[in-house]
């Protein structure tokens, strides 16, 4: 049977792939196929914002990437998780919508081209967002991605204390923490939640695109490799139901599988570092040593505190009969704590004087996890939690395949805190957290720090806490770096160097990590990418 043929074949139905399918299919004369390794997001958990732990435990919907045991991981193996489902990681993530700072995109543009500067990315945000605060400047009010802030049904005295403590530190209180001013701030986190339900890239972009006759979505299809004719990409070979199949593209194949998967697809296709491919018996079709290099990831430390009173914590609400009550409430009204994202509040600040913009992000929640029970429930006493990380790490790791089998785990070397700059920022971040919790009125309701604990005090001890207790931020970028230099994997128009008809658009192309969570920046860059791709014909 001859392979199906489309104008564009997109690999991956995550944040980038869904946006690309939505935009490229706007032209009814253009046909688009999207290939996704996972299945449909039909389970009820995919709709409930607070079901993140349940979703992370669904093995069928997860790609699990074990790391090497390194000093920066406390010499232990950690696991980085990604979504294997329509919507990709936007279907399982913590729903944080952080745009990044305008300076981030200007930095990307400086390394690539003006196509990626804030003027273009700001316009993309304005077009794709449907923010409950309405349109203003680069904030969109009518776009397909519906965004909201925590509602009055969940706000309480704890939230007010967080705002007041941030203000006491000198941070401006912002109605919209994503206002593009490259400045510090404290406020309520925007979330990809609408009417109490998760809004993934699939619900916002792919499902509307599928209503068009020119879009085909192929699920449960694990991509093996790109099929090349000489130095031109012509098809994608994938495995479905145990059988190998192909789908061909007349214009472009676009890899949108993410920073963890796109490098492997290139390498299995014979595009990459010969020193990686030849020992695996893979014929080198095009030597490109940057594939799988320059992997940058946030190192995120979860901190927790015991509070003085249950009035300031949701811990009780997530346990026992109160949880049953909230499940019923959510089912009937779509409101209450189960409609909340992982973290209600956010702070962006400078860890030390002399910086020109924030270098640290705090995400704060009115609950704390009971790790004696594997973090599957909240602690029996009132608590709060905060995840902290330096925003722009400079240490770079690597990610390379270990086999030609598309299901085999790659060799993942995070190489956290390799640079002195990163180590200084990590220490500064924790000291900034402790200054925050020492501000009134928050200090009056904090009893004691329980994780990692006040015993981690010196610079060396703080770095030990990161090694022992921290995790990845689920924000990996850079493994197919975009740039104007010959050593970059893709050029400024997303074309894989040396290969015709093949582009990459996902977090792997970002030469630097944006200041915050990556789902928003990925969607905005994919929105802009559609214009760049169409311009190229």
pLDDT digits (tens, 9 = 90+) for 422-478: 999 999 999 999 999 999 999 999 999 999 999 999 999 999 999 999 999 999 999
Residue 250, classed as helix, strand or coil, is: strand
For the record, the structure tokens of 112 come out as 């690539």
**Residue 3 confidence (pLDDT):** 80
* pLDDT bracket for residue 124 (50, 70, 90): very high
Residue 105 has pLDDT above 70, yes or no: yes
* pLDDT bracket for residue 165 (50, 70, 90): very high
Residue 249's alpha-carbon distances to 6, 34, 356, in angstroms, are: 5, 11, 46
Please report, for the domain that includes residue 508, its CATH number. Answer: 3.50.50.60
**Residue 374 confidence (pLDDT):** 66
Question: Is beta strand 243-255 parallel, antiparallel or unpaired with respect to 4-11?
Answer: parallel
Which member of 120, 131, 400, 475 is catalytic? 475
* pLDDT bracket for residue 537 (50, 70, 90): low
Residue 498 has pLDDT above 60, yes or no: yes
The rounded mean pLDDT for the chain is 96
Q: Which of 272, 502, 221 is nearest to 404 (CA)?
A: 272
Range of the domain at 466: 5-536
61/202 Cα distance (integer angstroms): 14
Residue 372 has pLDDT above 90, yes or no: no
**Residue 2 confidence (pLDDT):** 65
> In this predicted model, what pLDDT tens digit does every residue of 281-307 receive, in sequence order?
999 999 999 999 999 999 999 999 999
**Residue 111 confidence (pLDDT):** 97
Beta-ladder partners of 147: 131
Residue 1 has pLDDT above 90, yes or no: no
> In this predicted model, what pLDDT tens digit does every residue of 202-258 receive, in sequence order?
999 999 999 999 999 999 999 999 999 999 999 999 999 989 999 999 999 999 999
Give the mean model confidence (pLDDT) for residues 375-396.
94
**Residue 376 confidence (pLDDT):** 74
281/267 Cα distance (integer angstroms): 11
The domain total for the chain is: 1
* Burial label, 231 (beta-carbon count in 10 A; 0-12, 13-18, 19+): middle
Give the mean model confidence (pLDDT) for residues 488-503.
98
Q: Is 120 a catalytic residue?
A: no
Residue 325 has pLDDT above 80, yes or no: yes
> In this predicted model, what pLDDT tens digit does every residue of 405-423 receive, in sequence order?
999 999 999 999 999 999 9
For the record, the structure tokens of 70 come out as 């390194």
Is 11 annotated to bind a ligand? Reply is no
Give the mean model confidence (pLDDT) for residues 24-40.
98
* pLDDT bracket for residue 151 (50, 70, 90): very high
**Residue 319 confidence (pLDDT):** 86
405/401 Cα distance (integer angstroms): 9
For the record, the structure tokens of 363 come out as 């995400």
Chain centroid to Cα 330, Å, comes to: 26
Is 223 annotated to bind a ligand? Reply is yes
């Amino acid at each position: 049977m001859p392979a199906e043929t489309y104008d564009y074949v997109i690999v991956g139905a995550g944040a980038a792939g869904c946006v690309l399918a939505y935009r490229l299919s706007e032209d009814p004369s253009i046909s688009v196929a999207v290939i996704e390794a996972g299945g449909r997001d039909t389970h009820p958990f995919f709709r409930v914002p607070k079901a993140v732990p349940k979703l992370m435990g669904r093995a069928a919907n997860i790609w699990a990437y074990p790391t090497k045991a390194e000093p920066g991981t406390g010499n232990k193996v950690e696991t980085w998780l990604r979504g294997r489902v329509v919507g990709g990681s936007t279907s399982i993530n913590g729903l944080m919508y952080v745009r990044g700072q305008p300076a981030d995109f200007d930095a990307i543009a400086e390394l690539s081209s003006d196509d990626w500067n804030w003027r273009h990315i700001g316009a993309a945000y304005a077009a794709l967002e449907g923010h409950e605060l309405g349109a203003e400047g680069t904030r969109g009010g009518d776009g397909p991605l519906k965004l909201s802030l925590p509602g009055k049904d969940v706000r309480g005295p704890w939230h007010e204390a967080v705002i007041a403590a941030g203000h006491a530190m000198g941070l401006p209180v912002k109605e919209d923490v994503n206002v593009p001013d490259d400045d510090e701030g404290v406020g309520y986190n925007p979330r990809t939640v609408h009417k109490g339900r998760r809004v993934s890239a699939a619900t916002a972009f792919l499902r509307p695109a599928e209503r068009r006759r020119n879009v085909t979505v192929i699920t449960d299809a694990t991509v093996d490799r790109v099929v090349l004719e000489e130095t031109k990409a012509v098809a994608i070979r994938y495995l479905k139901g145990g059988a190998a199949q192909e789908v061909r593209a007349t214009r472009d194949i676009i890899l949108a599988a993410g920073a963890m998967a796109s490098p492997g697809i290139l390498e299995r296709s014979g595009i990459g570092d010969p020193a990686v491919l030849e020992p695996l018996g893979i014929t080198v079709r095009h030597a490109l040593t940057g594939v799988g290099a320059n992997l940058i990831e946030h190192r995120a430390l979860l901190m927790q505190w015991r509070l003085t009173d249950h009035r300031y914590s949701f811990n009780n609400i997530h346990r026992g009969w109160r949880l049953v009550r909230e499940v019923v409430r959510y089912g009937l009204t779509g409101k209450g704590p189960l409609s909340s994202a992982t973290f209600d509040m956010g702070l962006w600040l400078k860890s030390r004087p002399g910086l020109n913009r924030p270098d640290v992000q705090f995400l704060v929640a009115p609950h704390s996890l009971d790790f004696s029970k594997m973090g599957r429930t909240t602690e029996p006493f009132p608590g709060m939690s905060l995840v902290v990380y330096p925003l722009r790490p400079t240490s770079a790791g690597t990610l390379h395949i270990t086999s030609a089998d598309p299901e085999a785990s790659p060799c993942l070397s995070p190489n956290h805190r390799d640079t002195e700059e990163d180590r200084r920022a990590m220490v500064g971040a924790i000291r900034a957290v402790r200054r925050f919790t020492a501000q009134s009125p928050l200090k009056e309701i904090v009893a004691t720090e329980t994780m990692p604990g006040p015993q981690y005090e010196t610079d060396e001890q703080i770095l030990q806490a990161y090694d022992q207790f921290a995790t990845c931020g689920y924000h990996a970028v850079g493994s197919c770096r975009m740039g104007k230099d010959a050593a970059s994997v893709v050029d400024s128009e997303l074309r894989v160097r040396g290969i015709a008809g093949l582009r990459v658009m996902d977090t792997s192309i970002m030469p630097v990590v944006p200041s915050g969570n990556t789902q928003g920046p990925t969607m905005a860059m994919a929105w802009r990418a559609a214009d760049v791709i169409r311009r190229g014909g």
